[in-house]
Amino acid sequence: ICETGDRLGSERWLPPTREGDVLAILNTGAYGRVMSSHYNLREPAAEVLI
């Protein structure tokens, strides 16, 4: 996420998670690797194709 106002969802509650859990975020548009950039000095998130 580039800016403080960016969201990948709201009012979506997840079950409790623990370190090592995997979270899938689908259909992220410009936040996927193909459209990503190093804007704001952020490294791209890991992306796995299933």
- pLDDT tens readout for residues 16-46: 999 999 888 777 666 667 777 777 777 777 7
Tokens coding 40: 């704001």
Determine whether 42 is an active site residue: no
Q: Is the pTM of this model over 0.75?
A: no
Specify the pLDDT at position 16.
Answer: 93
Half-sphere exposure of 32 (CA within 13 A, CB side): 9
Contact 29, 35 (CB under 8 A): yes
Please provide the size of the chain in residues.
50
Query: How many other CB atoms are there within 10 angstroms of residue 32's CB atom?
Result: 14
- Catalytic residue selected from 1, 2, 8, 30: 2
